[in-house]
Structure 1
């Protein structure tokens, strides 16, 4: 296993010598001999690409965060009655369900039409879904709007990290993909801030409509920006457009003599990988095979051992990210803090979103230095501590026994025991912040680096299936969280999430290798003869 603390420069120089790439002394003074990209900071062009694509993360975060404030502000605006627990669960979980359906479909589209068109399609769905939500006057209409947004999130959450990873320099790929995750957390913060503003100062009957409708603005902005952004070089080579790929790579690393040689090396490496993985079938002929090529992709993903191992690891990380219970806080944090008796639950929820954002910024600087594997092994135990401390705090909470249409969790804490319950509520808030902080450092961003594990010929398909796993687990959490809180009590619910994290930590320790500092082509070799740990 590669040590993430080693300097990528030495690592890439050793790899290049093994690959037989010339490394003359004069050249090493000017540029690193990495066959992928020169070492050093990403250029302005790469940062512009990342920021443009990262708007998808902003939309993703906004639409997952906005539902928390919407559910406590919507009142009787839909169907002329208060929302029941079932209404809330369906409105929340339908987004995950359609994201689950959209992820594998978008992976096929990304293979045939490119990464960029799928991002543009998701933007159009974001705009349409936001407008449908804002104009809804029934629960069914709101479910329809959330479902359209779910399809957009499913496509964007899969293709945006893939788009960035295929353009990023190896030494900074983790940081640039984490920028997308940072955009997600920023979107959640923005959603909570706007939700608090409308809840405290806006018209309760219309404020939530503006809240969901504003999601159309960044989608339209990204759609305009991406019209000027390129397709990824790896997809262009796969599609038989090597000349276009060379032109884009030149924009990222320069056009001097040494850089031109590096461009040739990058393209040759991609072409060599394609020939090796596809049985010496040329990229153009493979793309014209239609359904036969698609079926061959499935066969290679599921039957080739290293691809199957990559799929297991990617699905494990994506599933654990959701089954840890994090998005139950994003969807229902305002509901939870209402139960706990906080006077302004949307403002309290903002502290959770701000913690997530702050520690994602910290992860931005640590992920390539510490490494993916180690940052997970270090952070998940603190997630467990936060969850079990929350479970302990909830054991002191006395819920009102009154039944309503919303179920017992629609009420607040029992006034007769307000003293101990208020102390327990503070403990729960602190423990949730511990959980969120440790989640943001590791599990919140590492799973989105899934494209590092897959060879180019199955990268889109494998990443799509892993993302679908994320949304399947997200759907399960969104649909079952409130019923579990009712049925098992909050103490057992949070304790169960902690047990899942313990199992996930052990599995990561056994099978997840380190990929920090490696090129995409090098990282896929780790699983050639085992798990690479």
Structure 2
């Protein structure tokens, strides 16, 4: 076996580390993009109250409409970034894509920090969103291709852990700065901290290997083998994975070009499955709870300060639940976790609607409502969110993995924006019946997962590609595989 201190030919750093330490370092670097994603989506809730101040007081004089414009610019940028980055990562590789996105992370964060007016702020938030979306589609794929079948689930799930950790960090920073700083321009300090994970991601990409799957797809077999020797301890494991990757690459070269492959019916059906999983993940209403928990709790009579403080509880529960999800995802299949999570989500939405409709305003109503929200978030972040990102890293075939992942994740970002946009007027229009509507949508999501999603646990990426081709080909009639 190759000397583990020998630097990989793709330019990765020559770090004398064990295999476990290398995996930890690679995942830590890659998920700096996820940390930035979480921080950027969370910090705006703390910055907006100060950005609405007049320009003479250090704000941007935002109106309700321009508040929405500033907030949604990141989401729409994320959708485009996820889509474009899919093409870029297939053409130039996952690592180069992450390095480019790191530059945009820093540029966008710096631009929002020094933005002198609304127009520049919206443009910079869009650029930042482009990086956020690009990272959300590239990071899970990169980690999945670096990891083997045994490590893929827990390692990819760390992407979700870093997202919720970034959101929790944003909530804590917002609360701390609001209490400790009296400067009305503190929102600029809040936004400036988003540059740190971007800088760390950029530097880190010079010390991690390229994806061996992508290397094999490009015909660079010797370089891929040297990388694999640094990331696997068992020579038989290396031989098996390399053989599968080379066979997959041969079939891809003999098959239709990528443009023609995208027109094949099984690929279209697979993309629709990926988009359907975006609906499953976002139409749980998770972002309605994350963004609007204070509004929900204020309707129970809870004070403004206490309602805002509860948002930190959301962040803490999300982090704890993601840790639990990382453990669970190594022991349970994707389908059972999703079905369990959706079942509890439905129950909590029904319970929350009942609590808000049937109980009078009181502390008991506030606590029960908060309890429903926290249980909802726990099962959402333990069973649904990490499984979604894991599926986005493994469902699609190597030849068009970046493109399809980018397209599916872009659709997920549009679903995210739709829920965030629709929830306030929906709550105003139908009141607490909104939660029963979400419950009904999630019953449909539960049926979709039960009928359409094959099980992928324990399979290599090449085995999953074969499974998906058989499952969604024109003549496929078998039921989803379960384990």
Question: Equivalent residue of 1:513, what SS?
Answer: coil
8 A contact 2:50–2:187 mirrored in 1 = yes
Decide whether aligned partners of structure 1 residues 45 and 81 sit closer, same or farther in structure 2, where only a CA change above 3 A counts. Answer: closer
Deviation at 1:83? 4.3
Whether the 8 Å CA contact 1:384–1:501 is kept in 2: the answer is yes
- Superposition pairs for residues 420-459 of structure 1, below 5 Å? 420-449=361-390, 450-459=392-401
Provide closer, same or farther for how the CA distance between residues 280 and 390 of structure 1 changes in structure 2, counting only shifts above 3 A. closer
Q: Does 1:474 align with 2:474?
A: no
Residues 184-237 of structure 1 deviation map (CA, whole Å, 9 limit, x = unaligned): 111111111111111222225122211111100111012111111111001111
Distance 2:399 2:60 in 1: 52
Residue 207 of structure 1, aligned match among 158, 161, 186: 186
* 1:142-181 alignment runs, 5 A limit: 142-181=121-160
- Asked if 2 retains the 8 angstrom alpha-carbon contact of 1:393 and 1:425, the reply is no
Distance 2:357 2:324 in 1: 33
Q: Deviations over 1:97-125 (max 9, x none)?
A: 11111112111100111001111121111
| TM-score, structure 1 normalization | 0.80
1:45 corresponds in structure 2 to 22
Q: For the residues of structure 2 that align with 1:269 and 1:77, how far apart are their CA atoms?
A: 61
Match of 2:402 among 456, 460, 476: 460
5+ residue gaps, structure 1, are 1-40, 282-295, 398-418
Matched, 1:350 2:287: no
Change (3 A) 1:321 1:354: same
Q: 1:270 aligns with which of 228, 231, 245?
A: 245
Q: Which moved more, 1:182-191 or 1:317-326?
A: 317-326
Cα offsets for 1:37-87 (capped at 9, x unmatched): xxxx96221121111111111111111111222234434156967644433
Q: Secondary structure at the match of 2:384?
A: coil
Pick one of 233, 254, 262 that aligns with 1:279: 254
The counterpart of 1:249, out of the listed 228, 236, 246, is: 228
Q: Match for residue 291 of structure 2?
A: 331
TM-score between both structures, scaled by the size of structure 2: 0.88
Alignment of 1:286-325 (within 5 A): 296-305=257-266, 307-325=267-285
Rounded Cα–Cα distance in structure 2 between residues aligned with 1:60 and 1:165? 19
Contact 2:294 2:304 in 1 (8 A): no
CA contact under 8 A between 1:387 and 1:431: conserved in structure 2?
yes
Q: Distance in 2 between matches of 1:371 and 1:42?
A: 26
CA contact (8 A) 1:66 1:211 kept: yes
C-alpha change, 1:102 and 1:127, in structure 2 (3 Å) is same
Residue 463 of structure 2 is aligned to residue 503 of structure 1: no
Matched, 1:54 2:31: yes
Match of 1:132 among 98, 106, 111: 111
Any idea what the Cα deviations from partners look like across 1:295-349, whole Å, max 9, x if unmatched? x4243134142x3332222211122211222123333445555565242444210
For 2:355 and 2:63, the matched residues in 1 are separated by 26
Gap change, CA 1:337 and 1:211, over 3 Å in 2: farther
Native 8 Å contact 2:90 2:401 kept in 1: no
- Shift in Å, 1:524: 1.9
Structure 1 residue 517 and structure 2 residue 458: aligned? yes
Q: Give the superposition deviation at 1:166.
A: 0.3
Cα gap change, 1:348/1:63 in structure 2, threshold over 3 Å: closer, same or farther? same
Once structures 1 and 2 are overlaid, which stretch shifts more, 82-91 or 455-464? Answer: 82-91
Summarize the Cα distance change of 1:120–1:338 in structure 2 as closer, same or farther, 3 Å threshold.
Answer: farther
Partner of 1:359: 321
Output the CA distance in 2 between the equivalents of 1:45 and 1:440: 27
Unaligned regions of 5+ residues in structure 2, if any? 1-17
Give the CA deviation at 1:388.
2.4
| Corresponding position of 1:63 | 40
1:349-388 maps to which residues of 2 (within 5 A)? Answer: 349-388=311-350
Residue equivalent to 1:532: 480
Aligned to 1:111: 90
- Superposition RMSD in Å: 2.3
